[in-house]
A and B are shown apart, each in its own frame.
Chain A
Amino acid sequence: MPATRAATARRALREHRTLVVGCLLLGGMVLFALVAPLFGNPYATPLDGLTESGQSHGVLSHGHLLGTDELGRDMLARSAEGARTSLEIAFLANITSVGLGVLVGMAAAFYRGWIEQLLMRITDVFLSIPTVISGLALAAVIGTTVIGIVAVVTALYWAWAARIVFGEALALRRRTFVEAAIASGVPGRTVIRRHILPNLSSLILTLAALNGAAVVSIGSGLSYLGAGIQPPTPEWGNMLAEGAGALDYSPHLLLVPLACVVLTVFSFVLIGEALARRGALSLRRSWLDI
C-alpha cells in the first residue's frame, strides 16, 4: 500500500514537474530573503572588501561568495537584503493589481449597463498607457517608497487583469446555471460568491502567476531606471543600475542581481505555464493528417 502511494506521488510529481520546479524555485528565493541576516551586513564596507588596487572582488573570492561591489560591500548580503525589498514589492503589487482587476472585471461583467461601460472605458484608458513611461511619471508623483512602487505597479497592471477577468466572467454569466440563479432572485453578491468566483479561481491563479512575473520585472525595471527604491537600500533593480556602469570590467556586479531577477521571474513563469497548460485543451486534430 505505501508502495502504491509512493508510486502515485511519483507520478503526480512527474505530471506536475513544471509546477513543482516553479514552486521550489520561488520558495528558494523567498527563503533567500528570509535568511538575509545570516549573510552579514549589506551596508558594511570592510577593509578586505576591495583588492589592494581598490577593485571589487569577483565571485568566489575568499570570504565573498558572490564577490563585492565597488564600495567593497558583500554582494551576497546585498542580494539577499535586496530580495527582501524586491519580493515584498512583487508580492504586494501582485496581490493588489490582480485583486483590483478581479473586482473591476467582475463588477463590470455582473452589473452591465452604464457601470460596465464606465469601468471598461477606464480600463481601456489604462491599457493604452505605455507601462514604463507612465510608471516613471507616476513614480515622480507618488514617490519612491515601497508603498509608492506598489501603487505605481498596481496602477500599471490592474487593467490587464480586469480585461481578462471581465471576458471570462461575462462568458460565465451567460451560462445557464448563473442565469437561472439570477432569474430566481438570488442576490447579486451571492451569485458572485457562489457561482462566479469559484469558477474563476483557476483563471485568477494563473493570472496571478503570470502577473507575478510581469510585476517582478517591471518593479526591478523601474528601480533600474531610477524610479524605484533608492540606494543605498539594496534592491535588485538599483543594484542593476549600479552594475550597468561596470559591465565591461566587473560584470558580476550586474550579473548577480540579474540572476536574482531572472530566477524569480522564471519561477513565476513556470508556475503560470503549468497552471495555464492544465486548463488548456488537448491537441486538436489536423485535417491534413487524413
Chain B
Amino acid sequence: MARYLSLRIVLGLISIIGVVLLTFMLQFLLPGDPAKRIAGPRAEPEVLATVRANMHLDDPVTTQLAAYVGSVARGDLGISYIRRRPVVDLIGERLPTTAWLAAVGLLVELTLGVGLGLWDGLRRERSRGLAAVNVLLLSVPTYSLGFLLLLVFAFKLDWLPPGGGTGPLDLVLPGLTLGLFGVPYYAAVVAESTRAALAASFTRTAVAKGLPRRLIIRRHVLRTCISPVITLIGLDMALYISGVVFVETVFAYPGIGSLQEQAFTEFDRPVLMGTVIIGAVVVIAFNLLADVVRALVDPRAQVQDAG
C-alpha cells in the first residue's frame, strides 16, 4: 500500500509541476504589459520602470521561472490586478460556495447514474428508453441544460429562484444541471460492470451455492461496481469542473467558476492563472483520492496497479 501510494503521489506531483510550467509559459505569451496593468495606462516611464523592477519583469526568464515556481510552492498565487487582494484569499473565500454546488451535483449524478445503470444492467436486454435518455442528456451541453431548466422552472413556472443567491433553494437548479450532465457516463459504467458481474464465474458459484437472488445482486454484483464508479469520479473530475464554470456562469452563482469567468473578461491574469492551478490541483487530488479509496474497497487494485 505504501509503495502504491507513493507511486501515485509522485505521478500526481509530476502533473502539478507540468501544469505550473504551462501556466508560466501562458503568462509569458499573454498580450499586454503586466506593469501597465498595475501602474495604470498613463503612468510615467520612471514609475513603470520601478514597477517592472519590483515585479522582476526584466530578470532573465529562468530567474523569473524559479521565482514563480517558488511562490506557487509556498502557496502564493500573486495579487489580483482588479481586486488588489491575494488570489489565494479570493479563491479561498469562494471555495465553500463552489464545494456545496459540486457536492450537490455529484449526489445527483451518483444517485441517478448508479440507479439507472443498475436498473439497465439487471435487465435481460438493454433498455431502449434508457439509451434514448442517455443520448439526449449527452446531446445537451451543461450550459444549454442550465438555460432550459432556468427557463422552465424559474421563469415560466416560477418555482425556483433564477439564481444569484447561495441559499439551499439556489442550489437546486445548478446542482441538477451539473449532475444530470454526468448521468449517462455513470449509468453506462454501472450497467456495463453489472452485466460483467452477472456473466462472471463467481456469480455462477454464488448461484450454485443456492444463495437467494437478492443477496447475490446486493453482495456479489453490486460490490464489484463500486470500484469502476470511483475510478470514473476521478477521471471525470476535469470535465466536471468545466461543468461547474458553466453552471456558475449561467446561474450567476458566486463561486470560483464565476470568479474565473470575471477574471477572463477583466484580463485579471493572476486570478485566471490561479484558478487554472487550483483547478488542476483539485483534479489531481481527486484522482489520487479515487485511487486510494479504490485500493481500500477493491483488494485487487493495489496488486494490479503497483504490480
Contacts and interface: CB of A to CB of B under 8 A. Distances in A.
Contacts of B142: 217, 221
B10 to A, nearest CB: 11
Contacts of A284: 195-196, 198-199
B135 A270 contact: yes
B297 to A, nearest CB: 23
A125 B245 contact: no
Interface string B183-206: 000000000000110111001101
Contacts of B11: 124
Given A133-B241, A134-B276, A240-B143, A247 B151 contact: yes
A125 B283 CA distance: 11
A114 to B, nearest CB: 14
B85 to A, nearest CB: 20
Interface in A252-290: 254-255, 258, 261-262, 265-266, 269-270, 273, 283-290
B160 to A, nearest CB: 13
B239 A261 contact: no
B147 A258 contact: yes
Contacts of B287: 128
B23 to A, nearest CB: 7
B71 interface: no
A59 interface: no
Interface in B105-138: 124-126, 131, 135-136, 138
Nearest to B198: A286
Contacts of B162: 248
Interface in B1-35: 11, 14-15, 18-19, 22-23, 26, 29-31
Interface of B: 11, 14-15, 18-19, 22-23, 26, 29-31, 124-126, 131, 135-136, 138-144, 147-148, 150-151, 155, 162, 195-196, 198-200, 203-204, 206-207, 213, 216-217, 237-239, 241-242, 245-246, 249-250, 260-261, 263-265, 267, 269, 272-273, 275-276, 279-280, 282-284, 287
